Every structure is written in structure tokens, then in C-alpha cells.
Structure 1
Amino acid sequence: MATKPPLGDAYSLILEAIDVGVYRPGDRLVESELAERFGVSRTPIREALQRLETQRLLTRDGRSLIVASLDHNQLAELYVVRAELEALAAGLAARHATAEEVRVLQEMVAQDRRLAGDPTALARANKRFHHQIHLASHNRFLVQQLDLVHRSMALLATTSLAAEGRTEDALKEHEAIVRAIAARDEEAAAEALRTHISKAFVTRLKLDAERHEEGI
């Protein structure tokens, strides 16, 4: 008899589905449909939904749970926090990263250039790149806080890397971040990552303005 996936798996499955756009802001999540999709009983699904609601990734619409969305102010607040935490991680990575961790970051940047024509794949690679910097900071409490921030990033309906011209710029920014980390220049690494997040935010605002203008 097959064992049922634990709560953590149900939670991760739903979060991943939101993250990759299977469920978008405003979409209604139904216990029975999720249980059938993921092959999980309704009890862990229910508990996972409660956890996601507590984390404000889901919100109530009457009696229904829907994927939350971020308004302009929430988006701005998220990017402010993300920029500072990511910059701190980059600075700490410049101080603490092992030679092997630096080499992994360099290889990631080189490999990501092959994905330039695929925004979805590049977005996944971008998350791996940033997470590797978080780990290279060697600060578990910072990593935990960044994990929370990146969960909220799942509520953004599109990747800023889909904007025209953004992919090449983002890759160059990644290269600058890794160069600074490899050079053990904490200030330069922090500033390079802070600038990277700032430019991503500007692109995000432009995309949102275009979607609003088109009535999306």
C-alpha cells in the first residue's frame, strides 16, 4: 500500500504550483481538486492551505481561498526588504564563500547564458543563482529570512526576465556580482546585488504598468 505524502510535501507541491504559474493571483484553490491533482489526501492539503494562508500567500474571498496578489505598496515594500537582505547576503558571501562556492557561482553564470531565449528556464536558474549566494553567506538566519521573501515573490504573475532586453542586462549584473564575490570585495558585492534588485524592480513596475494599460 502506497504511503501518503506528508504535510510538508503537500505544502511544497502547492507552493511550487504557485511559483511556476499553475495557479496565479486570484485563482481559487479547492481542496478536492488539489488532492486529485497531487495524489494527496484532503487532510494534508487542508493543513497545507492553512499554512499558506497564515503566511499570507493565500487570502479569503468569502469562504474560498484564493492565491493572494500584491498591490503597488506591497510590491515596493517587498523589493525594499529583498534588496537589503540580498545585498547583505552578497557581502557576507564575499567574506565567507569557499573557493568551491565561488566556482559554482561562476559556472552558473556561464551556463545561464545558454538559456537567454527561454525566460521561464532562466527564471528558474535565476532563483538557483540567488539561493546559492544566500547559502554562500554562511548565515542560517539570513537564509531563513530570504526564503520567506522569495516565497512572497511567487505571488508575482510574471518574471521580469520576460521584458525585452532585461535578460542580457540581468546576466551582466550577475557577472558583476560574482566578480565582486570572487574578489572578496564585500562592499562591491553588496552594491552590485542591490543595484541588480533595483533594476529588476524598475522592470517589474514597467511590466505592471503595461499590463494595467492593456486591462490584464
Structure 2
Amino acid sequence: MRNSDPNPDLPQGQDAYRRLLLEIRAGALKPGDRLLEVELAGRLGISRTPVREAIRQLEADGLVVHVPRVGAAVRGLDPGEVTELYEMRGVLEGTAARLAARAASDVERDELAAINAEMAAALGDPARMYELNRQFHAALLDAARNRYLARSVAGLQKTLLLLGPTTLEGEERARGAIEEHAEVLAALDARDELAAEQAMRRHVAAAHAVRLRQFRSRPADDVPD
């Protein structure tokens, strides 16, 4: 199924926005794909008005742009922008790890370790790995106890959705991520703020390297202008 199931508890505009976000993350909607109100309304089973609201919200998020003579389309990222995103992610999440090394409770550290153990058990299941990885990074951010940092990370994560499916689909990268998480956890347990920040920066750099390899391997027709 191309889109997620509808959520009847949400207003149609918000639900359409949620479903389109999921399609962008899954790679079902790719950079350059047009967002046609009539086609989306028919596929999502709703009227054009909530679809229009969803497109406007995606545009406000910077995930959709208006292309001359084309209309609304999913925004593309070039390799330079990808590098800038991961550089900023390293700064923000490295800071989160440093703050968590100072502030995380025993319960929070245990939760992080449990999530990483679940990731190890979920090897071979990319969807589950993605969700557990999301939980790990969210729990670490919560443990940092800085609401302004959390807001900055949330904005960055929306732009990262444009990169499509998780890098954890490959087993080698998935195993590497689990080991890198373990290094962060060891630094948290030691209350070593510098080591925690450095471990997280290495983790982000490893993910960045995989993304760049993905870009180099894409067909020329798939590379955004």
C-alpha cells in the first residue's frame, strides 16, 4: 500500500499531512515528484481542500517547493545540502549526548540500553530498526533536558525525511549503528561528557558516509537539479 492508513481521530488536513510525510520518508514520494491535488485526493480518499492544507504545511516545512510550469513538487537535496544537514546533525546530537552524560538518570540510561538491545534483536527488519533507532535518539534527546535543543533537532529531522528510507536497511550499517550506540552508552554510564559527544559525532558521520554513497550510486535521472 503506497500510503499509510487514515487516522480517523485527526482532522483530514492533518491526517493527509501525516500520510504524505510517511510517504516521503518511505521514498514512495521522491524528490521531484509532483503533488497533484486531484490525484492525491483520489488516492487518499478525501476532498481537495484537506490535500491543499497538507501541501501548504509541507511547503512551510521546506519539504515541498513550487516549480514554475510544474506546480507543487517534493523538494530535492544535492550532496552539498546533505553534508550541511549531517554537519548540523552532528553538532546538535553531539550536544544532546554531552548534556545527557551529565543529566541522564539511571532509568533513562537503562531505557537507552534496552532499546539498543532490541535493535540488535531486530536485525533484518528495517522497519523495526528504523522505529527503534528513532526511539533511541528521541530518548537521548529527552535525557539531555534542553527544550530549545529539542526544537532544533525536530526541525532538522523533518528535512532529513527528504533523504528517503533509513540507512539501516543494510545489515552492515545496522550492526555499525548498534555498536556506535553502545559507545555512546558507555560514555553516558561513565558520565564522560566529551566522550559522549565524540561518540555521537562519529555515529552521525558514519550515517553521513552511507548517505553519500547512496547519492553516488543513484541513476543520473534520479539526481535532483
Deviation at 1:6, TM superposition (A): 5.3
The answer as to 2:70 corresponding to 1:70 is no
| Equivalent residue runs for 1:1-216 within 5 Å | 5=11, 7-61=13-67, 62-163=69-170, 165-212=172-219
Distance 2:110 2:46 in 1: 40
Name the amino acid aligned to 2:218.
R
Residue 164 and residue 102 in structure 1: after superposition, are their counterparts in 2 closer, same or farther (change >3 A)? closer
Single out whichever of 160-169 and 92-101 deviates more from structure 2.
Answer: 160-169
Name the amino acid aligned to 1:159.
T
* Percent sequence identity over aligned pairs: 37
Name the amino acid aligned to 2:82.
L
- The answer for unaligned runs of 5 or more in structure 1 is none
Aligned length: 215
- The answer for unaligned runs of 5 or more in structure 2 is 1-7
Name the amino acid aligned to 2:167.
S
Single out whichever of 105-114 and 123-132 deviates more from structure 2.
Answer: 123-132
Name the amino acid aligned to 2:207.
A
TM-score normalised by length of structure 1: 0.89
Residue 112 and residue 3 in structure 1: after superposition, are their counterparts in 2 closer, same or farther (change >3 A)? closer
Cα distance per residue 1:17-65 (max 9 Å; x no partner):
2122232222222223333444444323212211211222012232421
Residue 26 and residue 120 in structure 1: after superposition, are their counterparts in 2 closer, same or farther (change >3 A)? farther
Residue 70 and residue 214 in structure 1: after superposition, are their counterparts in 2 closer, same or farther (change >3 A)? closer
Tell me, yes or no, if the aligned pair for 2:123 and 2:171 is still in contact at 8 Å: no
Distance 2:59 2:186 in 1: 40
